Chains A and B, each alone.
Chain A
Amino acid sequence: MIEIKNLTKKYGDHVAVDNLTFTVKKGQIYGFLGPNGAGKSTTMNIITGYIGATSGQVKINGYDIFEEPEQAKKCIGYLPEQPPLYMDMTPYEYLKFVAELKKIPKGQRRDMIEEIMDRTKIYEVKDRLIKNLSKGYRQRVGVAQALLGYPEIIILDEPTVGLDPKQIIDIRDLIREIGEKHTVILSSHILSEVSAICDHVVIISNGKLIASDSPANLTKELQGSTSVSLTVLGQKKAIQQVLSSRSQIRQYTISESKEEPGAYDAELTCIGSADLREELFTAFAKIKCPILKMQTSGMSLEDVFLELTDEGAAEKGNTEETNTKETAIKETDTKETNTEEKEEE
């Protein structure tokens, strides 16, 4: 469906996309995942023919986007990061214009626009000026625009950014629905979104392809490691001793607990899926260091992501006292906000 070969895009000395190669198969929802500035938008802009590449090849349904742009572009509906809307038009006028631009036969235009307005739930605002619409509606008009002509491939660049939770759910449902009939590629820096909607995840960092697999496989691949987080009351040295002496522990970090004075928080990653809780309990009991809290967790897609992208690793180095380079420490409930904060830095 889409074949991308050795795609490279340079802006002066800066390499935005670095030798990217992958294929997109028909009928799946693909998630482009990567921190801000990873090259997601650039890649999408190249696939859709908005900008050229420095080198490499992109084929859409067999049509080369650089050599037969019109044929290739016909197969794609694109919603850029900022919906390309004309503020002085109403959604209906706008969709009519886009339908004409996409060369949809005159007889079908009207019905198609009505149907799409219905699906994207913008029917009730169709005669208001776009500049007076809320962000959520504008986004939906943008999606409607991409859907017009029912191209086989729909590409959405960060479709849920800046929407409220309800609108995010609406858009996600819509994407899932679109995904039943079309091949969808969407980009996001929010992991939960990608793991919730996508059949296939492509992780990009610094313009390079890092991983491309289904969310389940990605987690499985990197799993083999259960992690345990615990809060222990006692001397740091004693705790370190206990942890260091366990051969099943691959790596651990230790820091002063914020919630429990005098206690230490430890995060450890185990080798294999061994459950160390019982062993740790008796070990700490022996040296009379009571465990105040203990919890195991498998590796989430989030951890995989952070492990895979450089930024996750580098970030960790400055914020925590650390024994290893790789692990990233997160509290499960604040995952999403954390990631976003980190990426914005």
Chain B
Amino acid sequence: MLAIYKRELKAYFTSPVGYIFIAFLLFVVGIFFTFYNLRQSYPWFASVLSGTTFVFLILVPILTMRIMAEERRQKTDQLLFTAPVRIVDVVLGKYFALLTVFAIPMLVFCLYPLLLKTFGKSDASMAMDYIGIFGYFLLGAANLAIGLFISTMTESQVLSAVLTFLVLLICYYSASLASIVPASANASLVAFTVMILLAAVIIYLMTKNIFLAAGAGCALEVVLVVIFLINSKLLEGAVASFFSIFDVSGRMENFINGILDVTGITYYISAIVLFVFLTVQAIQKRRWS
């Protein structure tokens, strides 16, 4: 694991990717910091961070696009998977390298509240800022895990980047998407039906098995209709709560407000573990199919 971690980290800094990632993140956050905190004397650095989460949409795909896809294209994965290392170690080595690159600008951000302190910021608000930075790091780490997983699915870096961007985009706007749908049970029924249809299409595209896709779609739809007929109240507002599962960035609000939110931490860590696990499974599946 250590060997892969070191190689991966080195690769990020022999190519421009690592530098671009760090520089761009520092640049965007730096502008916001200068404008809000320094020019307008606004004391909370964490709120600046919450305003800049959109950069992950671009930066995460840049960082993760090559991580697995390139190995596959260059066939270097043959070296990794025939060496006496477990696949989990390969994936973790790579994921930790991603986290390390991401942690470098975080360390720089840790200096900003100190800078604000020289203008008389209170100790309590310092702690809140650091909690905010911690939340920001968790959010980024979850996004990186998603990117890692998507990079495993394809051989093409471009495809990997575009898919990661789209998935992150959906996650970011899932809350707003959900608010379009009225909270009534009827509207939920229609919205879920559309989603089931989409899911069936995706299953078909991935497995090329029409029976599986149609079967899964029908089964889900039946369950949905049964719930609707038995107790339609259950579906009221269900779309919003369903979408909130994917609302990765929304979970950060508490951290930004200075609350060390245990459910938030659990949410992010679960997301990271899930996607690292899925990455390992995706590799295993390809080996055995």
- Which A positions have Cβ atoms within 8 angstroms of B? 11, 45, 48-52, 69-71, 73-74, 76, 78, 80, 82, 84-89, 97-98, 100-103, 145
Taking a contact as CB atoms under 8 Å apart, the answer to whether A84 and B75 are in contact is yes
Name the distance in Å between A140's Cβ and chain B's nearest Cβ: 16
B169: interface (CB < 8 Å): no
Taking a contact as CB atoms under 8 Å apart, the answer to whether B79 and A84 are in contact is yes
Binds A, one of B1-9, B118-126, B136-144, B198-206: B1-9
Interface core residue of B3, B11, B84 (most chain A CB under 10 Å): B84
B40: interface (CB < 8 Å): no
B84: A residues at CB distance < 8 A = 69-71, 73-74, 102-103
Evaluate whether A88 and B83 lie within 8 angstroms (CB atoms) in the complex, with A52-B288, A80-B75, A100-B3 already known. no
Name the distance in Å between B74's Cβ and chain A's nearest Cβ: 7
B78: A residues at CB distance < 8 A = 45, 50, 78, 80, 84
**How far, in angstroms, from A49 to B84 measured CA to CA in the complex?**
10
Name the distance in Å between A142's Cβ and chain B's nearest Cβ: 9
**How far, in angstroms, from A103 to B287 measured CA to CA in the complex?**
23
Instruction: Select from chain A the residue with minimum beta-carbon distance to B14.
Output: A88
Name the distance in Å between A89's Cβ and chain B's nearest Cβ: 8
Name the distance in Å between A235's Cβ and chain B's nearest Cβ: 59
A76: B residues at CB distance < 8 A = 82
Instruction: Select from chain B the residue with minimum beta-carbon distance to A129.
Output: B14
Taking a contact as CB atoms under 8 Å apart, the answer to whether B75 and A82 are in contact is yes
B15: A residues at CB distance < 8 A = 88
B176: interface (CB < 8 Å): no
Name the distance in Å between A99's Cβ and chain B's nearest Cβ: 8
Taking a contact as CB atoms under 8 Å apart, the answer to whether B81 and A100 are in contact is no
Instruction: Select from chain B the residue with minimum beta-carbon distance to A71.
Output: B84
Taking a contact as CB atoms under 8 Å apart, the answer to whether B85 and A86 are in contact is no
Interface core residue of A48, A50, A85, A88 (most chain B CB under 10 Å): A50
B86: interface (CB < 8 Å): yes
A69: B residues at CB distance < 8 A = 84, 86
B2: A residues at CB distance < 8 A = 100
B77: A residues at CB distance < 8 A = 84
Taking a contact as CB atoms under 8 Å apart, the answer to whether B3 and A97 are in contact is yes
A103: B residues at CB distance < 8 A = 84
Evaluate whether A101 and B287 lie within 8 angstroms (CB atoms) in the complex, with A85-B76, A86-B11 already known. no
Name the distance in Å between B209's Cβ and chain A's nearest Cβ: 12
A97: B residues at CB distance < 8 A = 3, 6-7
Size category of the B interface is 20 to 34
Evaluate whether A73 and B82 lie within 8 angstroms (CB atoms) in the complex, with A52-B288, A86-B11, A88-B15 already known. yes
**How far, in angstroms, from A14 to B4 measured CA to CA in the complex?**
35
Taking a contact as CB atoms under 8 Å apart, the answer to whether B82 and A49 are in contact is yes
B85: A residues at CB distance < 8 A = 70, 101
Evaluate whether A49 and B79 lie within 8 angstroms (CB atoms) in the complex, with A88-B11, A88-B14 already known. no
Instruction: Select from chain B the residue with minimum beta-carbon distance to A47.
Output: B82
Instruction: Select from chain B the residue with minimum beta-carbon distance to A145.
Output: B79
Taking a contact as CB atoms under 8 Å apart, the answer to whether A73 and B83 are in contact is yes
**How far, in angstroms, from A85 to B74 measured CA to CA in the complex?**
8
B80: interface (CB < 8 Å): yes
Evaluate whether A51 and B288 lie within 8 angstroms (CB atoms) in the complex, with A97-B3, A100-B3 already known. yes
Interface core residue of B4, B74, B82, B288 (most chain A CB under 10 Å): B82
Give 13 CB contacts A-B under 8 Å.
A11-B289, A45-B78, A51-B287, A52-B287, A70-B84, A71-B84, A74-B84, A80-B75, A84-B75, A84-B78, A84-B79, A86-B7, A101-B4
**How far, in angstroms, from A76 to B79 measured CA to CA in the complex?**
11
Q: B271-287 toward A: CB 8 Å interface, digit per residue (1/0)?
A: 00000000000000001
Evaluate whether A102 and B11 lie within 8 angstroms (CB atoms) in the complex, with A50-B287, A52-B287, A97-B3 already known. no
Taking a contact as CB atoms under 8 Å apart, the answer to whether B83 and A102 are in contact is yes
**How far, in angstroms, from A73 to B84 measured CA to CA in the complex?**
5
Evaluate whether A84 and B76 lie within 8 angstroms (CB atoms) in the complex, with A70-B84, A74-B84 already known. yes
Q: B86-126 toward A: CB 8 Å interface, digit per residue (1/0)?
A: 10000000000000000000000000000000000000000
**How far, in angstroms, from A78 to B80 measured CA to CA in the complex?**
11
Taking a contact as CB atoms under 8 Å apart, the answer to whether A86 and B287 are in contact is no
Taking a contact as CB atoms under 8 Å apart, the answer to whether A50 and B3 are in contact is no
Instruction: Select from chain A the residue with minimum beta-carbon distance to B208.
Output: A12
Name the distance in Å between B210's Cβ and chain A's nearest Cβ: 15
Name the distance in Å between A74's Cβ and chain B's nearest Cβ: 5
Name the distance in Å between B2's Cβ and chain A's nearest Cβ: 7
Taking a contact as CB atoms under 8 Å apart, the answer to whether A70 and B3 are in contact is no
Q: B184-222 toward A: CB 8 Å interface, digit per residue (1/0)?
A: 000000000000000000000000000000000000000
Question: Which listed residue, B3, B4, B14, B81, touches A49 by the CB 8 Å rule?
Answer: B81
Instruction: Select from chain B the residue with minimum beta-carbon distance to A74.
Output: B84
B75: A residues at CB distance < 8 A = 80, 82, 84
**Contacts of B62-78 to chain A: CB distance below 8 A:** 74-78
B287: A residues at CB distance < 8 A = 50-52
Question: Which listed residue, B11, B79, B289, touches A101 by the CB 8 Å rule?
Answer: B79
Taking a contact as CB atoms under 8 Å apart, the answer to whether A101 and B80 are in contact is yes
Name the distance in Å between A47's Cβ and chain B's nearest Cβ: 9
Question: Which listed residue, A74, A84, A101, touches B74 by the CB 8 Å rule?
Answer: A84
Name the distance in Å between A314's Cβ and chain B's nearest Cβ: 30
Taking a contact as CB atoms under 8 Å apart, the answer to whether A50 and B76 are in contact is no
Instruction: Select from chain A the residue with minimum beta-carbon distance to B86.
Output: A70
**How far, in angstroms, from A96 to B85 measured CA to CA in the complex?**
16
